[in-house]
Structure 1
Amino acid sequence: MIKQILVLFFITMVVFGQYSPKSFQLDDKKLSKIEGSQSIKDVTPSSNSIIDIIATDNLIILGTSSGLSLSEDNGENWTNYYQREPFGEDGITAIGYNNGIIWATTGKTTEVNGENLPEGTGIKYSTDNGITWTSIQQPVDSPGDSSITYGINTLRALPVTTKINNISYDIAFTKNTIWISSFAGGLRKSSDMGVTWERVILPPDNLDFISPNDILDFSLQPVAGKFGKESWLNHRVFSVISVNDSTLYVGTSGGINKSTNNGISWKKFNHQNQANPISGNFAVGLGYNKANNSIWAATWKAEGLEEFYAVSHSSDGGENWEVTLPDERAHNLGFKYFNASDFHVMVPTDKGIFRSKNNGNTWVQPTSIKDTYSKIPIVTNIFISAASNRLNATDYYIWVGSNNGLARLSETNGFWEGEWKVYLASNDIKLDETYAFPNPFSPSQELIKIKYGLSSASDVTIRIMNFGMELVRTLVQNTPRGIGGQFEFWDGKDESGKIVTNGVYFYRIDSDALSKPLFGKIMVLK
């Protein structure tokens, strides 16, 4: 599975400009418009791995490991684009919404010399809420694109001629301009809806500022190789947001870069060059809090010995940073706005979803996330995305995405209290059939879900057995279950509460509603 590091985008319109960088023309075959269809509606998104969420008044946009999912009625019905043109079976690596246009960047895993590596597969956008799509191939350079003009300088630039490791992790918008951030491809912009792309110069690791009038001598180069020995962490780009008509923030493996003149000059903030710095230089996600004009970042440890994982936020444009949630690996930022100055911050992490109503001074997690009616829970600690939309003057939806399902909270009873709806994607089940997913599964990260169908309401018993058919755990015994599709969950533990060893396990389902016992196989990989 592709390692995807993504952010929510809280973006306003910006005017763009830069000193004459070289552009890279895509040929006509790389830009195509494809008819889609919204006639097929599903009750859940296409995947349980929810990479990113954008929530507007009624339109919900999900980027998932199995393509794009859209809902125009706040989650009652979903249009899923997995295995449909132009998405195919690619995963979504970033999503955006600007001036009524839906954007998605895509990627897949490709085997290269026995190693699975991420490959960028392009950008898609729709101007009619997903009915038709325009597909753009992943921007790449020609072998001769080895220099860039930046003000008074002509700088060497490593041509990125492959889509391998050239995957777009974030997308942002300014006036008439699209910005994408890529590990190998760096920061790029397009002012013609993706027909051509231009590389954008950021400071190398040994410079904190660059301006077109400076005399500069470095290469635009994220990794060392035959092209040169330079390997700049600050040229490995992962996140980008725009704030106003002239201000951009870009997160890299080397810190957070800020431009106040439309991407022409840049100032770099990192753990080493400020008195009150970010926690770590690997800025995997950025968020803009429009209620108090603050910048929030999921900042991970990069290479500095004193760096650490946390969330960093600044109320003075990056000059000083406050650090909260130390040692938490945050993936994303989300905000719930009540009025012009009242807000909550939401942070999805590897240890659950956190929320603060006092600008990060204290944090609260939900006691559990379980569907109010079906009782199906979100059974994971890994949360990746969060968003909120306002229904009316008093009612809101909060959306949280994990690696094991999506949840929507209709919050009317207080902090993290209200009616939960859990969306769990699974294949249709026939009566007298069963399967388990995800399979293989890792007990340290998730629970495996056992799905089965009953022809009538009946008591159910489910037992887990090892490869020698010895009893490991009784999940449920003579427990009442209703007609139709059912779920049970196993945490990978035996009767004594210990996590089982790696290997193959079997489960058996017994019920009077079944014509015969049902059997399934589970692979445990820690």
Structure 2
Amino acid sequence: MIRHGVLGLLIACALPLQAQDLVFSPGILANDITNISAAGESVWVGPYLNVSHDGGETWLAANVDSLRGFASSVYSLEVKGQHIWGGLGGNYVRSGNDGQSQLVHEIRGLVHSSDAGNTWSYLSHLPPIDSDPASTGLIDTPDDTLITYGSVELSTLPITVSALSPPWDISFDLTNETLWVAGQLAGIRRSTDFGRTWERIVLPPDTTKYLAPELGYDFPFTVQPVGIAPDQFHGLNFQAFAVLVDQTGTIWAGTAGGLNRSEDGGVRWHHYTTEDGLLGNWIISIEEQPRGAQPPAIWATNWLGNGRNERYGVSVTRDGGLSFETALQGEQCYDFGFDGPRVYIACDRGLYRSTDDGYTFLLENDFVDHRDPSRSMRPGAAVYTVEVVGNAVWVGSGDGLFKSLDHGKSWQIYRTAVPLDPSDLSPIIPSEQVPRVSAYAYPNPFSPSSDRLTRLRFDLSNPEAVTIRIFDFGMTLVREIFFSGGAAGANEVAWDGTDEGGVRLANGTYFYAIQSRKDTFWGKILIID
């Protein structure tokens, strides 16, 4: 059991805060779509808790204080029945010991709705105020230096700061009302009281294949080699990035040191690595493929850990861990979606689709809106998440949200649509931060090498063709684009940062003029590469 003292200052932080409502949203609130989860016909989208109940025709947003003004974002999302759980995180840049900048992710709490998103509670990640030595928070107090496993007490390194402990994954066991969180250095944690208190779960050390309390152990349960010789450190398997409670109640945990399985609620664990057939030991996503009366197939992404001869790809076990098959060797993947024998895998290079239970795959990375062929996914954008909802396949990418009603043969594209008139904003976005403009470009500043293109957004009162002219800082015309498909309402035109000859323009400030029959809209773009 983890031991900790009482921190009186934290009592207010350990309680749920005020309820919030769903509010109007002009569309999805970000183009970097990292999470999709669904219940029935309701599709929830991260990173800012958008929901659509009508297939994407209209959108709402959770008006949660911790998300207002984009103060935090949703790192993990789980929808089970009426329950919606969101793991909140954020990031900042700090300088390392070598002088290099490092992006650091941190936990910022959880949000929960028990009524399908109509009202919300915020739950702090800080340790609770009670005298129960078995419970802690999603981070620890300095006194959490011992943890009981079976008949022994293991020394442990308390995780007392939020940095490097973001809630990368959440799984909610609806039957047992138990919540599981994978929190990197914070490891795997379990709550049986809806997030008020937490128990830190002991996983096998890197070199241990089976962990059971009756066997007796004496190893340091520490996620970092603090006070331990490097050759004696075996704690990569304590650093958790994925967790799943499958339909049989089996717990699966993905770490920087392999894949773990427990059939007794997280007490005894089997530990699998490349020695057992995985491609790589760093597991960042685990999902189940339902198979009717058969046990589900368990799919996991395989990334490069610290072992030799590791490779990117995915692995699947169809027999509860007795054997593993692999696919997509060399591909960096993030998430899975299933529809009977159809398997969808979100990867860095696009969406892989299979119609035969994952034995063969086709790559889809040319997402074009069948309603408007001028709208497409930016070349090079990664696909991060996929979810099957009824007859619809939803895909989240670094360049918007896509939906297919024909198993991925054609697509509709949804993107953030900040109105030109800030009075049309969702209440979640402070209107004082958004000026009234006649046109804007996004992203801006714009990096042609990484962003590939920027989009110019403007409104037209009537359908008509427009001409877009790009000028350098000296007002020399460098590019002219004729757009014949102008429609009444919002329009977008993409520019790749090149001149009339296809040569990439130098860094600097550029001006654009969008000319219709009656108006000319001016704006500025900063190219930084």
Q: Call closer, same or farther: CA 1:496–1:234 in 2, change over 3 Å.
A: farther
Bigger shift: residues 429-438 or 349-358? 429-438
Q: How far apart are 1:485 and its partner, in Å?
A: 1.9
Matches of 2:249 and 2:401, distance apart in 1: 35
Pairing partner for 2:65 from 85, 92, 110: 85
Kindly report which structure 2 residues correspond to 1:59-70, keeping only aligned pairs within 5 A, or say none.
59-64=42-47, 67-70=48-51
2:380 aligned with 1:388: no
CA contact (8 A) 1:152 1:214 kept: no
Q: Call closer, same or farther: CA 1:246–1:68 in 2, change over 3 Å.
A: closer
Q: How far apart are 1:176 and its partner, in Å?
A: 2.4
2:79 aligned with 1:74: no
Pairing partner for 1:421 from 390, 401, 412: 412
Matches of 2:504 and 2:209, distance apart in 1: 49
Pairing partner for 1:348 from 346, 358, 380: 346
CA contact (8 A) 2:438 2:521 kept: no
Kindly report which structure 2 residues correspond to 1:94-493, keeping only aligned pairs within 5 A, or say none.
94-112=76-94, 116-138=103-125, 139-174=138-173, 175-225=176-226, 230=233, 232-271=235-274, 273-274=275-276, 277-291=277-291, 293-337=296-340, 343-366=341-364, 368-375=366-373, 376-380=375-379, 381-390=381-390, 396-411=391-406, 415-418=407-410, 420-429=411-420, 433-446=438-451, 447-474=453-480, 476-477=481-482, 479-493=484-498
Matches of 2:383 and 2:152, distance apart in 1: 44
Q: How far apart are 1:448 and its partner, in Å?
A: 1.5
Residue identity in the other structure for 2:301? A
Q: Call closer, same or farther: CA 1:503–1:326 in 2, change over 3 Å.
A: farther
Structure 1 length normalisation: TM-score?
Answer: 0.85
Which ranges in structure 2 are unaligned for 5 or more consecutive residues? 96-100, 126-137, 422-435
Matches of 1:432 and 1:173, distance apart in 2: 44
Q: Call closer, same or farther: CA 1:455–1:255 in 2, change over 3 Å.
A: same
SS in 1 for 2:37: strand
SS in 1 for 2:49: strand
- State the Cα RMSD in Å: 2.5
Matches of 1:295 and 1:167, distance apart in 2: 24
Matches of 1:155 and 1:439, distance apart in 2: 51
Q: How far apart are 1:358 and its partner, in Å?
A: 1.3
Pairing partner for 2:513 from 494, 499, 508: 508
Which residue is equivalent to 1:10?
none
Matches of 2:333 and 2:456, distance apart in 1: 30
Structure 2 length normalisation: TM-score?
Answer: 0.85
Q: Call closer, same or farther: CA 1:484–1:176 in 2, change over 3 Å.
A: closer
Pairing partner for 1:521 from 520, 525, 528: 525
Residue identity in the other structure for 2:414? Y
SS in 2 for 1:87: helix
CA contact (8 A) 2:5 2:143 kept: no
Matches of 1:501 and 1:310, distance apart in 2: 38
CA contact (8 A) 1:24 1:141 kept: no
CA contact (8 A) 2:349 2:365 kept: no
Residues 464-506 of structure 1, C-alpha deviations (whole Å, 9 max, x = no match):
34445444433x2263523332101123344444544544443
Matches of 1:141 and 1:507, distance apart in 2: 53
CA contact (8 A) 2:448 2:527 kept: no
Which residue is equivalent to 2:134?
none
2:41 aligned with 1:58: yes
CA contact (8 A) 1:432 1:452 kept: no
- Identity between Structure 1 and Structure 2 (%): 29
Q: Call closer, same or farther: CA 1:80–1:268 in 2, change over 3 Å.
A: same
Q: How far apart are 1:131 and its partner, in Å?
A: 2.1
Residues 371-430 of structure 1, C-alpha deviations (whole Å, 9 max, x = no match):
33244223243111111122xxxxx1111111111111122xxx5235x32111121125
Q: How far apart are 1:85 and its partner, in Å?
A: 1.9
